[in-house]
Chains A and B, each alone.
Chain A
Amino acid sequence: MAAKKLNIKDKYRLLTRDLDWEYSYADRKEAFPYEDFEGIKITDWSKWEDPFRLTMDTYWKYQAEKEKKLYAIFDAFAQNNAHMNVSDPRYVNAIKIFLTGVSPLEYQAYQGFAHTGRQFGGVGARVACQMQSLDELRHVQTQIHAMSHFNKFFDGFQEYSHMHDRVWYLSVPKSFFNDARTAGPFEFMIAIGFSFEYVLTNLLFVPFMSGAAHNGDMATVTFGFSAQSDEARHMTLGLEVIKFLLEQHEDNVEIVQKWIDKWFWRGSRLLTIVAMMMDYMLPNKVMSWKEAWEVYFEEAGGALFKDLARYGIRMPKYSEIIEKEKEHISHQAWWTFYTHGHAAGFHTWIPTDEELDWLSEKYPETFDKYYRPRWELAKEMEAKGERFYTKGLPQLCTTCQIPMLFTEMDDPTQTSYRDTTYNGERYHFCSDGCKDIFEDEPEKFVQSWLPVHQIFQGNCGGPDVGDILSDFYHMNVGTDNMDMKGSPDELRWKQWKGVA
Protein backbone atom coordinates (compact mmCIF):
# COMPACT_ATOMS: atom_id res chain seq x y z
CA MET A 1 0.00 0.00 0.00
CA ALA A 2 1.33 3.38 -0.90
CA ALA A 3 2.13 5.69 2.00
CA LYS A 4 -0.49 8.38 2.57
CA LYS A 5 0.58 11.66 0.98
CA LEU A 6 0.81 14.57 3.41
CA ASN A 7 -1.07 17.70 2.45
CA ILE A 8 0.94 20.92 2.00
CA LYS A 9 0.02 22.36 5.40
CA ASP A 10 0.98 19.23 7.38
CA LYS A 11 4.15 18.80 5.39
CA TYR A 12 5.14 22.42 6.05
CA ARG A 13 4.44 22.00 9.76
CA LEU A 14 6.57 18.85 10.00
CA LEU A 15 9.42 19.83 7.70
CA THR A 16 9.77 23.50 8.66
CA ARG A 17 8.17 24.45 11.97
CA ASP A 18 9.25 21.18 13.56
CA LEU A 19 12.89 21.87 12.76
CA ASP A 20 13.05 24.45 15.57
CA TRP A 21 14.05 23.58 19.12
CA GLU A 22 13.95 25.09 22.57
CA TYR A 23 17.17 26.38 24.15
CA SER A 24 17.91 24.52 27.35
CA TYR A 25 21.51 25.56 28.18
CA ALA A 26 22.17 28.52 25.81
CA ASP A 27 20.72 32.00 26.22
CA ARG A 28 18.30 32.72 23.38
CA LYS A 29 19.26 36.40 23.36
CA GLU A 30 22.90 35.48 22.85
CA ALA A 31 21.96 33.12 20.03
CA PHE A 32 20.13 35.92 18.18
CA PRO A 33 22.11 39.02 19.14
CA TYR A 34 20.84 41.31 16.34
CA GLU A 35 17.11 40.89 16.94
CA ASP A 36 16.64 43.88 19.26
CA PHE A 37 18.96 46.73 18.44
CA GLU A 38 16.95 48.22 15.58
CA GLY A 39 14.02 48.83 17.95
CA ILE A 40 11.75 46.28 16.23
CA LYS A 41 9.55 44.42 18.68
CA ILE A 42 8.68 40.77 18.00
CA THR A 43 6.27 39.22 20.47
CA ASP A 44 5.47 35.90 18.80
CA TRP A 45 7.44 34.32 15.95
CA SER A 46 4.87 31.53 15.64
CA LYS A 47 2.52 34.05 13.97
CA TRP A 48 4.83 34.01 10.93
CA GLU A 49 2.95 32.86 7.83
CA ASP A 50 4.53 31.49 4.69
CA PRO A 51 1.81 31.29 2.06
CA PHE A 52 3.86 29.13 -0.32
CA ARG A 53 4.66 26.60 2.42
CA LEU A 54 7.55 25.31 0.37
CA THR A 55 9.54 22.61 2.16
CA MET A 56 13.18 21.82 1.46
CA ASP A 57 12.50 18.58 -0.44
CA THR A 58 10.04 20.30 -2.79
CA TYR A 59 12.43 23.23 -3.11
CA TRP A 60 15.23 20.98 -4.41
CA LYS A 61 12.86 19.10 -6.71
CA TYR A 62 11.64 22.22 -8.51
CA GLN A 63 14.99 24.01 -8.48
CA ALA A 64 16.57 20.95 -10.13
CA GLU A 65 13.88 21.01 -12.79
CA LYS A 66 14.48 24.72 -13.46
CA GLU A 67 18.25 24.16 -13.76
CA LYS A 68 17.85 21.27 -16.21
CA LYS A 69 15.68 23.41 -18.46
CA LEU A 70 18.02 26.36 -18.17
CA TYR A 71 21.24 24.53 -18.97
CA ALA A 72 19.67 22.73 -21.93
CA ILE A 73 18.96 26.16 -23.37
CA PHE A 74 22.46 27.48 -22.58
CA ASP A 75 23.90 24.48 -24.46
CA ALA A 76 21.62 25.10 -27.42
CA PHE A 77 22.49 28.79 -27.39
CA ALA A 78 26.24 28.11 -27.47
CA GLN A 79 26.06 25.22 -29.95
CA ASN A 80 24.03 27.26 -32.40
CA ASN A 81 26.22 30.38 -32.17
CA ALA A 82 23.13 32.23 -31.08
CA HIS A 83 25.08 35.40 -30.20
CA MET A 84 24.84 35.95 -33.98
CA ASN A 85 21.06 36.12 -33.70
CA VAL A 86 20.82 39.16 -31.45
CA SER A 87 19.03 42.06 -33.09
CA ASP A 88 22.00 44.42 -33.22
CA PRO A 89 25.49 44.33 -31.64
CA ARG A 90 24.66 47.49 -29.68
CA TYR A 91 22.25 45.37 -27.62
CA VAL A 92 25.13 43.35 -26.11
CA ASN A 93 26.27 46.47 -24.22
CA ALA A 94 23.19 46.23 -22.01
CA ILE A 95 24.33 42.73 -21.08
CA LYS A 96 27.79 44.08 -20.18
CA ILE A 97 26.09 46.41 -17.70
CA PHE A 98 24.11 43.45 -16.39
CA LEU A 99 27.21 41.33 -15.74
CA THR A 100 29.29 44.10 -14.17
CA GLY A 101 26.49 45.87 -12.30
CA VAL A 102 23.76 43.35 -11.47
CA SER A 103 25.22 39.84 -11.22
CA PRO A 104 27.59 40.81 -8.35
CA LEU A 105 24.49 42.05 -6.51
CA GLU A 106 23.05 38.55 -6.70
CA TYR A 107 26.16 37.41 -4.84
CA GLN A 108 25.68 40.15 -2.25
CA ALA A 109 22.04 39.08 -1.90
CA TYR A 110 23.20 35.49 -1.31
CA GLN A 111 25.50 36.68 1.47
CA GLY A 112 22.87 39.02 2.88
CA PHE A 113 20.10 36.43 3.11
CA ALA A 114 22.45 33.82 4.59
CA HIS A 115 23.42 36.27 7.34
CA THR A 116 19.93 37.64 7.90
CA GLY A 117 18.29 34.24 7.97
CA ARG A 118 20.73 33.15 10.65
CA GLN A 119 19.77 36.13 12.80
CA PHE A 120 16.02 35.53 12.90
CA GLY A 121 14.63 33.76 15.96
CA GLY A 122 11.66 32.35 14.03
CA VAL A 123 12.18 29.13 12.10
CA GLY A 124 9.69 29.95 9.30
CA ALA A 125 11.57 33.14 8.41
CA ARG A 126 14.92 31.37 8.79
CA VAL A 127 14.05 28.63 6.29
CA ALA A 128 12.56 31.12 3.78
CA CYS A 129 15.76 33.23 3.97
CA GLN A 130 17.90 30.12 3.55
CA MET A 131 16.03 29.21 0.36
CA GLN A 132 16.34 32.76 -0.94
CA SER A 133 20.06 32.73 -0.15
CA LEU A 134 20.49 29.54 -2.22
CA ASP A 135 18.40 31.07 -5.02
CA GLU A 136 20.62 34.14 -5.17
CA LEU A 137 23.74 31.99 -5.42
CA ARG A 138 22.07 30.10 -8.28
CA HIS A 139 21.31 33.41 -9.97
CA VAL A 140 24.88 34.68 -9.94
CA GLN A 141 26.18 31.31 -11.16
CA THR A 142 23.69 30.98 -14.02
CA GLN A 143 24.27 34.59 -15.09
CA ILE A 144 28.03 34.10 -15.24
CA HIS A 145 27.56 30.86 -17.20
CA ALA A 146 25.16 32.48 -19.66
CA MET A 147 27.33 35.52 -20.27
CA SER A 148 30.58 33.55 -20.53
CA HIS A 149 29.42 32.75 -24.05
CA PHE A 150 29.24 36.45 -24.96
CA ASN A 151 32.69 36.91 -23.44
CA LYS A 152 34.12 34.75 -26.24
CA PHE A 153 32.84 37.10 -28.93
CA PHE A 154 32.46 40.61 -27.48
CA ASP A 155 34.67 42.97 -25.47
CA GLY A 156 34.01 44.26 -21.97
CA PHE A 157 32.98 41.06 -20.14
CA GLN A 158 36.40 39.91 -18.97
CA GLU A 159 36.86 41.65 -15.61
CA TYR A 160 33.33 42.06 -14.27
CA SER A 161 34.12 41.22 -10.67
CA HIS A 162 37.26 43.38 -10.50
CA MET A 163 35.38 46.24 -12.15
CA HIS A 164 32.39 45.97 -9.82
CA ASP A 165 34.64 46.82 -6.88
CA ARG A 166 36.26 49.86 -8.53
CA VAL A 167 34.54 51.48 -11.52
CA TRP A 168 32.83 54.84 -10.90
CA TYR A 169 29.30 53.98 -12.01
CA LEU A 170 29.44 50.44 -10.56
CA SER A 171 29.90 51.87 -7.07
CA VAL A 172 26.21 52.83 -7.35
CA PRO A 173 24.83 49.25 -7.19
CA LYS A 174 27.69 48.02 -5.00
CA SER A 175 27.17 50.69 -2.32
CA PHE A 176 23.40 50.16 -2.42
CA PHE A 177 23.82 46.55 -1.33
CA ASN A 178 26.64 47.36 1.08
CA ASP A 179 24.30 49.79 2.79
CA ALA A 180 21.58 47.13 3.11
CA ARG A 181 23.96 44.41 4.30
CA THR A 182 25.52 46.58 6.99
CA ALA A 183 22.07 47.42 8.37
CA GLY A 184 20.32 45.22 10.92
CA PRO A 185 18.43 42.10 9.79
CA PHE A 186 15.00 43.73 9.76
CA GLU A 187 16.14 46.75 7.78
CA PHE A 188 17.84 44.37 5.32
CA MET A 189 14.52 42.58 4.84
CA ILE A 190 12.61 45.83 4.25
CA ALA A 191 15.39 47.09 1.94
CA ILE A 192 15.95 44.00 -0.18
CA GLY A 193 13.15 41.56 0.64
CA PHE A 194 10.36 44.10 0.45
CA SER A 195 11.23 47.36 -1.38
CA PHE A 196 13.65 45.87 -3.87
CA GLU A 197 12.16 42.43 -4.53
CA TYR A 198 8.49 43.24 -4.30
CA VAL A 199 8.43 46.29 -6.49
CA LEU A 200 11.72 47.25 -8.08
CA THR A 201 13.37 44.06 -9.39
CA ASN A 202 10.24 43.44 -11.45
CA LEU A 203 11.28 46.34 -13.67
CA LEU A 204 14.58 44.70 -14.52
CA PHE A 205 13.52 41.08 -14.65
CA VAL A 206 10.14 41.37 -16.35
CA PRO A 207 9.96 44.11 -19.05
CA PHE A 208 13.74 44.20 -19.64
CA MET A 209 13.89 40.39 -19.98
CA SER A 210 10.92 40.43 -22.30
CA GLY A 211 13.01 42.99 -24.23
CA ALA A 212 15.97 40.57 -24.28
CA ALA A 213 13.67 37.96 -25.86
CA HIS A 214 12.49 40.53 -28.38
CA ASN A 215 16.14 41.19 -29.28
CA GLY A 216 16.92 37.55 -29.94
CA ASP A 217 18.91 36.91 -26.76
CA MET A 218 17.68 33.48 -25.80
CA ALA A 219 20.31 33.01 -23.07
CA THR A 220 19.52 36.18 -21.15
CA VAL A 221 15.75 35.88 -21.27
CA THR A 222 16.08 32.30 -20.07
CA PHE A 223 18.31 33.03 -17.08
CA GLY A 224 16.21 36.13 -16.38
CA PHE A 225 12.92 34.29 -16.25
CA SER A 226 14.47 31.31 -14.47
CA ALA A 227 15.75 33.70 -11.78
CA GLN A 228 12.41 35.44 -11.75
CA SER A 229 10.59 32.15 -11.10
CA ASP A 230 12.33 32.22 -7.70
CA GLU A 231 11.49 35.89 -7.38
CA ALA A 232 7.74 35.29 -6.99
CA ARG A 233 8.65 33.42 -3.79
CA HIS A 234 10.99 36.26 -2.74
CA MET A 235 8.24 38.82 -3.32
CA THR A 236 5.89 36.83 -1.15
CA LEU A 237 8.56 36.61 1.56
CA GLY A 238 9.05 40.39 1.38
CA LEU A 239 5.32 41.01 1.76
CA GLU A 240 5.02 38.52 4.63
CA VAL A 241 7.93 40.16 6.47
CA ILE A 242 6.35 43.58 6.35
CA LYS A 243 2.90 42.34 7.37
CA PHE A 244 4.46 40.33 10.19
CA LEU A 245 6.42 43.31 11.55
CA LEU A 246 3.39 45.59 11.36
CA GLU A 247 1.15 43.07 13.09
CA GLN A 248 3.65 42.26 15.85
CA HIS A 249 3.74 45.69 17.51
CA GLU A 250 2.41 49.16 16.77
CA ASP A 251 5.81 50.68 17.62
CA ASN A 252 7.20 48.92 14.51
CA VAL A 253 5.07 51.02 12.14
CA GLU A 254 7.13 54.20 12.39
CA ILE A 255 10.46 52.34 12.00
CA VAL A 256 9.20 50.38 9.00
CA GLN A 257 7.83 53.54 7.36
CA LYS A 258 11.23 55.23 7.70
CA TRP A 259 12.92 52.24 6.03
CA ILE A 260 10.31 52.24 3.25
CA ASP A 261 10.98 55.95 2.63
CA LYS A 262 14.73 55.34 2.53
CA TRP A 263 14.75 52.21 0.40
CA PHE A 264 12.16 53.21 -2.20
CA TRP A 265 14.13 56.39 -2.79
CA ARG A 266 17.43 54.52 -2.97
CA GLY A 267 15.85 51.87 -5.21
CA SER A 268 14.35 54.37 -7.63
CA ARG A 269 17.79 56.05 -7.92
CA LEU A 270 19.46 52.68 -8.58
CA LEU A 271 16.95 51.83 -11.30
CA THR A 272 18.02 54.86 -13.34
CA ILE A 273 20.45 52.58 -15.15
CA VAL A 274 17.67 50.11 -15.98
CA ALA A 275 15.60 53.02 -17.34
CA MET A 276 18.47 53.86 -19.67
CA MET A 277 18.94 50.21 -20.70
CA MET A 278 15.27 49.94 -21.64
CA ASP A 279 14.92 53.20 -23.55
CA TYR A 280 18.31 53.37 -25.27
CA MET A 281 19.95 49.92 -25.33
CA LEU A 282 17.19 47.63 -26.63
CA PRO A 283 17.13 48.13 -30.41
CA ASN A 284 13.80 46.24 -30.68
CA LYS A 285 11.40 47.95 -28.32
CA VAL A 286 8.88 46.29 -26.02
CA MET A 287 7.76 49.22 -23.90
CA SER A 288 9.26 52.49 -22.76
CA TRP A 289 10.69 52.97 -19.28
CA LYS A 290 7.78 55.27 -18.52
CA GLU A 291 5.23 52.61 -19.50
CA ALA A 292 7.04 49.93 -17.49
CA TRP A 293 7.20 52.26 -14.50
CA GLU A 294 3.47 52.90 -14.71
CA VAL A 295 2.66 49.18 -14.74
CA TYR A 296 5.17 47.87 -12.20
CA PHE A 297 5.66 50.81 -9.86
CA GLU A 298 2.57 52.96 -10.01
CA GLU A 299 -0.06 50.30 -10.56
CA ALA A 300 1.47 47.34 -8.72
CA GLY A 301 3.12 49.47 -6.01
CA GLY A 302 -0.03 51.57 -5.65
CA ALA A 303 -2.14 48.43 -5.03
CA LEU A 304 0.42 47.26 -2.49
CA PHE A 305 0.39 50.51 -0.52
CA LYS A 306 -3.43 50.63 -0.55
CA ASP A 307 -3.33 47.14 0.99
CA LEU A 308 -0.82 48.25 3.65
CA ALA A 309 -2.77 51.41 4.51
CA ARG A 310 -4.76 49.46 7.11
CA TYR A 311 -1.55 49.26 9.18
CA GLY A 312 -0.99 53.03 8.97
CA ILE A 313 1.65 52.73 6.20
CA ARG A 314 1.59 55.43 3.50
CA MET A 315 3.23 55.75 0.09
CA PRO A 316 7.02 56.31 0.24
CA LYS A 317 8.17 59.88 0.86
CA TYR A 318 8.91 61.83 -2.35
CA SER A 319 6.52 59.65 -4.40
CA GLU A 320 5.38 62.82 -6.15
CA ILE A 321 8.97 63.51 -7.31
CA ILE A 322 9.41 59.87 -8.31
CA GLU A 323 6.27 60.11 -10.46
CA LYS A 324 7.70 63.04 -12.42
CA GLU A 325 11.10 61.38 -12.85
CA LYS A 326 9.79 58.68 -15.21
CA GLU A 327 9.68 61.35 -17.95
CA HIS A 328 13.34 62.30 -17.57
CA ILE A 329 15.79 59.94 -15.95
CA SER A 330 16.50 57.55 -18.83
CA HIS A 331 17.40 60.50 -21.08
CA GLN A 332 19.55 62.21 -18.44
CA ALA A 333 21.43 58.97 -17.72
CA TRP A 334 22.16 57.98 -21.35
CA TRP A 335 23.38 61.50 -22.12
CA THR A 336 25.75 61.24 -19.13
CA PHE A 337 27.13 57.90 -20.31
CA TYR A 338 27.37 59.15 -23.90
CA THR A 339 29.45 62.15 -22.83
CA HIS A 340 31.56 59.93 -20.49
CA GLY A 341 31.77 57.15 -23.10
CA HIS A 342 35.58 57.12 -22.90
CA ALA A 343 35.38 56.12 -19.20
CA ALA A 344 32.62 53.49 -19.45
CA GLY A 345 33.27 49.75 -19.75
CA PHE A 346 30.86 49.47 -22.67
CA HIS A 347 30.04 51.33 -25.89
CA THR A 348 27.72 54.29 -26.24
CA TRP A 349 26.09 55.81 -29.33
CA ILE A 350 23.68 58.38 -30.69
CA PRO A 351 20.21 56.83 -31.13
CA THR A 352 19.23 56.27 -34.79
CA ASP A 353 16.64 58.60 -36.32
CA GLU A 354 13.96 55.89 -35.95
CA GLU A 355 14.89 55.52 -32.29
CA LEU A 356 14.74 59.28 -31.74
CA ASP A 357 11.26 59.27 -33.31
CA TRP A 358 10.21 56.42 -31.00
CA LEU A 359 11.44 58.40 -27.97
CA SER A 360 9.56 61.50 -29.18
CA GLU A 361 6.40 59.42 -29.47
CA LYS A 362 6.81 57.74 -26.07
CA TYR A 363 7.76 60.94 -24.23
CA PRO A 364 5.59 63.62 -25.87
CA GLU A 365 5.84 65.95 -22.85
CA THR A 366 9.61 66.02 -22.51
CA PHE A 367 11.70 64.46 -25.26
CA ASP A 368 11.36 67.01 -28.05
CA LYS A 369 11.50 69.90 -25.63
CA TYR A 370 14.53 68.96 -23.53
CA TYR A 371 16.41 65.96 -24.89
CA ARG A 372 16.10 65.62 -28.68
CA PRO A 373 17.95 68.90 -29.33
CA ARG A 374 21.00 67.50 -27.50
CA TRP A 375 21.08 64.48 -29.82
CA GLU A 376 20.64 66.66 -32.89
CA LEU A 377 23.67 68.66 -31.69
CA ALA A 378 25.62 65.45 -31.00
CA LYS A 379 24.84 64.28 -34.56
CA GLU A 380 26.14 67.55 -36.03
CA MET A 381 29.32 67.35 -33.96
CA GLU A 382 29.89 63.70 -34.89
CA ALA A 383 29.40 64.53 -38.59
CA LYS A 384 32.15 67.14 -38.28
CA GLY A 385 34.46 64.56 -36.69
CA GLU A 386 34.07 66.14 -33.26
CA ARG A 387 32.34 63.35 -31.30
CA PHE A 388 32.01 64.88 -27.82
CA TYR A 389 33.66 63.44 -24.71
CA THR A 390 33.76 65.50 -21.54
CA LYS A 391 37.16 66.26 -20.02
CA GLY A 392 36.02 66.52 -16.40
CA LEU A 393 35.19 63.96 -13.75
CA PRO A 394 31.63 64.20 -12.39
CA GLN A 395 30.70 65.27 -8.88
CA LEU A 396 28.99 62.38 -7.07
CA CYS A 397 26.10 62.28 -4.62
CA THR A 398 27.41 61.10 -1.23
CA THR A 399 24.38 58.83 -0.68
CA CYS A 400 23.51 57.15 -4.00
CA GLN A 401 26.97 57.81 -5.57
CA ILE A 402 25.35 58.72 -8.91
CA PRO A 403 26.96 61.67 -10.75
CA MET A 404 24.98 64.91 -10.40
CA LEU A 405 23.02 64.20 -13.58
CA PHE A 406 19.47 64.69 -12.32
CA THR A 407 17.61 67.93 -12.76
CA GLU A 408 14.94 69.61 -10.71
CA MET A 409 11.76 67.89 -11.85
CA ASP A 410 9.88 71.18 -12.22
CA ASP A 411 12.74 72.75 -14.17
CA PRO A 412 14.63 70.22 -16.29
CA THR A 413 17.20 72.85 -17.27
CA GLN A 414 18.41 73.18 -13.66
CA THR A 415 20.69 70.55 -12.06
CA SER A 416 19.27 69.25 -8.79
CA TYR A 417 21.86 69.89 -6.10
CA ARG A 418 21.72 69.84 -2.29
CA ASP A 419 24.36 70.00 0.42
CA THR A 420 24.72 69.72 4.16
CA THR A 421 27.48 70.20 6.72
CA TYR A 422 28.48 67.53 9.20
CA ASN A 423 31.41 67.86 11.65
CA GLY A 424 32.74 70.83 9.71
CA GLU A 425 32.78 69.02 6.33
CA ARG A 426 30.41 69.77 3.46
CA TYR A 427 28.65 66.83 1.75
CA HIS A 428 26.88 66.96 -1.63
CA PHE A 429 23.65 65.31 -2.80
CA CYS A 430 21.56 64.86 -5.93
CA SER A 431 18.21 65.28 -4.21
CA ASP A 432 16.27 65.93 -1.00
CA GLY A 433 15.73 62.17 -0.74
CA CYS A 434 19.47 61.41 -0.68
CA LYS A 435 20.17 64.34 1.66
CA ASP A 436 17.54 63.10 4.15
CA ILE A 437 19.07 59.63 4.16
CA PHE A 438 22.52 61.05 4.90
CA GLU A 439 21.23 63.30 7.67
CA ASP A 440 19.52 60.36 9.35
CA GLU A 441 22.72 58.23 9.40
CA PRO A 442 25.67 60.60 8.87
CA GLU A 443 28.19 58.34 10.63
CA LYS A 444 27.44 55.64 8.08
CA PHE A 445 27.50 57.76 4.93
CA VAL A 446 30.60 59.86 5.72
CA GLN A 447 32.44 56.59 5.07
CA SER A 448 31.17 56.30 1.47
CA TRP A 449 33.91 55.18 -0.93
CA LEU A 450 33.25 57.73 -3.65
CA PRO A 451 35.18 56.80 -6.81
CA VAL A 452 35.84 60.35 -8.00
CA HIS A 453 37.09 61.46 -4.56
CA GLN A 454 39.31 58.40 -4.48
CA ILE A 455 40.76 59.27 -7.88
CA PHE A 456 41.54 62.84 -6.78
CA GLN A 457 43.08 61.54 -3.55
CA GLY A 458 45.46 59.42 -5.63
CA ASN A 459 44.08 56.08 -4.43
CA CYS A 460 43.30 54.74 -7.91
CA GLY A 461 46.65 55.10 -9.67
CA GLY A 462 46.91 57.55 -12.54
CA PRO A 463 47.56 60.41 -12.78
CA ASP A 464 45.81 60.35 -16.18
CA VAL A 465 42.28 59.05 -16.64
CA GLY A 466 43.60 56.58 -19.25
CA ASP A 467 46.01 55.05 -16.69
CA ILE A 468 43.23 54.71 -14.13
CA LEU A 469 40.95 53.02 -16.68
CA SER A 470 43.55 50.51 -17.79
CA ASP A 471 45.62 49.89 -14.64
CA PHE A 472 43.09 50.32 -11.84
CA TYR A 473 39.82 49.37 -13.58
CA HIS A 474 41.37 46.75 -15.97
CA MET A 475 39.48 48.15 -18.98
CA ASN A 476 41.00 47.64 -22.41
CA VAL A 477 41.14 51.30 -23.39
CA GLY A 478 40.08 51.86 -26.99
CA THR A 479 38.49 48.40 -27.14
CA ASP A 480 35.96 48.12 -24.31
CA ASN A 481 35.04 51.81 -24.24
CA MET A 482 34.38 54.74 -26.66
CA ASP A 483 31.68 54.94 -29.34
CA MET A 484 30.05 51.88 -30.85
CA LYS A 485 30.92 53.30 -34.28
CA GLY A 486 34.31 51.96 -35.29
CA SER A 487 34.61 49.69 -32.24
CA PRO A 488 36.15 46.19 -32.54
CA ASP A 489 32.72 44.80 -31.53
CA GLU A 490 31.13 46.51 -34.50
CA LEU A 491 33.88 45.46 -36.92
CA ARG A 492 33.66 41.80 -35.88
CA TRP A 493 29.88 41.87 -36.22
CA LYS A 494 30.16 43.23 -39.76
CA GLN A 495 32.66 40.52 -40.67
CA TRP A 496 30.38 37.77 -39.31
CA LYS A 497 27.46 39.18 -41.23
CA GLY A 498 29.49 39.81 -44.36
CA VAL A 499 28.66 43.52 -44.57
CA ALA A 500 31.15 46.27 -45.23
Chain B
Amino acid sequence: MSKVYIALQDNDESRYIVEAIEEDNPEVTVIHMPAMIRIENEGRLTVNRETVEEKMGRDWDVQELHVNLITLGGNVEEDDDSLSLHWNE
Protein backbone atom coordinates (compact mmCIF):
# COMPACT_ATOMS: atom_id res chain seq x y z
CA MET B 1 0.00 0.00 0.00
CA SER B 2 1.36 3.45 -0.92
CA LYS B 3 1.56 6.30 1.55
CA VAL B 4 -0.62 9.38 1.27
CA TYR B 5 0.75 12.52 2.88
CA ILE B 6 -0.06 16.09 3.79
CA ALA B 7 2.34 18.83 4.90
CA LEU B 8 1.29 21.91 6.84
CA GLN B 9 3.07 25.09 7.86
CA ASP B 10 4.25 24.77 11.45
CA ASN B 11 2.04 27.40 13.11
CA ASP B 12 -0.57 27.78 15.78
CA GLU B 13 -3.54 26.77 13.62
CA SER B 14 -1.80 23.75 12.15
CA ARG B 15 -1.01 22.36 15.57
CA TYR B 16 -4.75 21.83 16.19
CA ILE B 17 -5.24 20.36 12.73
CA VAL B 18 -2.39 17.92 13.34
CA GLU B 19 -3.91 16.94 16.71
CA ALA B 20 -7.23 16.30 14.99
CA ILE B 21 -5.60 14.20 12.28
CA GLU B 22 -3.74 12.14 14.89
CA GLU B 23 -6.94 11.54 16.83
CA ASP B 24 -8.95 10.43 13.78
CA ASN B 25 -6.13 8.49 12.09
CA PRO B 26 -4.23 6.81 14.93
CA GLU B 27 -1.80 5.07 12.55
CA VAL B 28 -0.31 8.26 11.06
CA THR B 29 3.37 9.17 11.24
CA VAL B 30 4.02 12.82 12.12
CA ILE B 31 7.40 14.21 11.02
CA HIS B 32 8.56 17.61 12.25
CA MET B 33 10.94 19.50 9.95
CA PRO B 34 12.08 23.16 10.06
CA ALA B 35 8.94 25.31 9.60
CA MET B 36 6.73 22.40 8.51
CA ILE B 37 4.95 19.29 9.73
CA ARG B 38 4.57 16.31 7.42
CA ILE B 39 1.95 13.67 8.20
CA GLU B 40 1.86 10.41 6.29
CA ASN B 41 -0.21 7.27 6.40
CA GLU B 42 -0.58 4.01 4.52
CA GLY B 43 -3.44 4.20 2.01
CA ARG B 44 -5.71 6.85 3.52
CA LEU B 45 -5.85 9.97 5.70
CA THR B 46 -8.86 12.08 6.71
CA VAL B 47 -9.20 15.56 8.22
CA ASN B 48 -12.61 15.91 9.90
CA ARG B 49 -14.14 19.35 10.41
CA GLU B 50 -15.81 18.37 13.69
CA THR B 51 -12.60 17.17 15.30
CA VAL B 52 -10.66 20.26 14.18
CA GLU B 53 -13.46 22.50 15.55
CA GLU B 54 -13.33 20.67 18.87
CA LYS B 55 -9.54 21.17 19.11
CA MET B 56 -9.64 24.82 18.03
CA GLY B 57 -12.72 25.72 20.01
CA ARG B 58 -14.25 27.60 17.09
CA ASP B 59 -16.02 27.05 13.76
CA TRP B 60 -13.67 25.84 11.06
CA ASP B 61 -14.36 25.60 7.34
CA VAL B 62 -12.65 22.65 5.62
CA GLN B 63 -11.47 25.02 2.89
CA GLU B 64 -9.56 27.05 5.50
CA LEU B 65 -7.04 24.23 5.23
CA HIS B 66 -5.75 25.94 2.07
CA VAL B 67 -4.24 28.76 4.14
CA ASN B 68 -1.76 26.50 5.95
CA LEU B 69 -1.35 23.70 3.44
CA ILE B 70 2.09 23.11 1.88
CA THR B 71 1.66 19.96 -0.14
CA LEU B 72 -0.23 16.71 -0.34
CA GLY B 73 -0.07 13.36 -2.09
CA GLY B 74 -3.07 11.22 -3.02
CA ASN B 75 -6.46 11.59 -4.63
CA VAL B 76 -8.44 14.31 -2.85
CA GLU B 77 -12.07 14.01 -1.75
CA GLU B 78 -13.56 17.07 -0.11
CA ASP B 79 -17.00 18.02 1.14
CA ASP B 80 -18.37 20.25 3.91
CA ASP B 81 -17.40 17.83 6.66
CA SER B 82 -14.03 16.44 5.72
CA LEU B 83 -11.06 16.25 3.39
CA SER B 84 -9.54 12.88 2.69
CA LEU B 85 -6.65 11.50 0.67
CA HIS B 86 -6.35 8.02 -0.79
CA TRP B 87 -4.54 6.00 -3.45
CA ASN B 88 -6.34 3.53 -5.73
CA GLU B 89 -4.45 0.28 -6.07
Write the residues of chain A forming the contact surface with B, with a CB cutoff of 8 angstroms. Answer: 7-9, 51-54, 58, 62, 65-66, 69, 202, 205-207, 209-211, 213-214, 221, 225, 228-229, 231-233, 235-236, 239, 286, 299-300, 302-304, 306-307, 310
Q: Which residues of B contact A51 (CB under 8 A)?
A: 75-78
Inter-subunit contact A210/B33 (CB<8 Å): yes
Q: What is the minimal beta-carbon distance from A212 to any residue of chain B, in angstroms?
A: 8
> Are A286 and B34 neighbours in the complex by a CB distance under 8 Å?
yes
Contact A233 B66 (CB under 8 A): yes
- The answer on a CB contact under 8 Å between A206 and B34 is no
How many chain B residues sit at the interface, stated as a range, is 20 to 34
Q: Which residue of B lies closest to A207 (CB)?
A: B33
How far is A88 from B23 in the complex, measured between Cα atoms in Å? 40
29 contacts between A and B (CB under 8 A): A8-B80, A51-B77, A51-B78, A52-B76, A53-B78, A62-B66, A65-B67, A206-B70, A206-B71, A209-B36, A210-B34, A210-B35, A210-B36, A213-B35, A213-B36, A225-B35, A229-B66, A229-B68, A231-B71, A235-B73, A236-B76, A300-B73, A303-B2, A303-B3, A303-B74, A303-B87, A304-B73, A307-B2, A307-B88
Contacts A210-B34, A225-B35; A306 near B2 (Cβ below 8 A): yes
Query: B35, A221: Cβ atoms under 8 Å?
Result: yes
Given contacts A53-B78, A236-B72, A306-B87, list 15 more A-B pairs with CB under 8 A. A7-B79, A7-B80, A58-B63, A62-B66, A206-B70, A206-B71, A213-B36, A214-B35, A225-B70, A228-B70, A229-B9, A229-B70, A232-B72, A286-B33, A303-B3
Q: Which of B67, B73, B89 is in CB contact (< 8 Å) with A66?
A: B67
Cβ of B20 within 8 Å of any chain A Cβ, yes or no, is no
Verify B72–A235 contact, CB threshold 8 A: yes
Contacts of A65 in B (CB 8 A): 67
Of the candidates A62, A210, A211, A286, the one whose C-beta lies within 8 Å of that of B67 is A62
| Beta-carbon contact of A9 and B36 below 8 Å | no
The 9 A-B pairs at the shortest CB distance, nearest first, are namely A303-B2, A213-B35, A51-B76, A214-B34, A213-B34, A232-B69, A300-B73, A228-B70, A210-B34
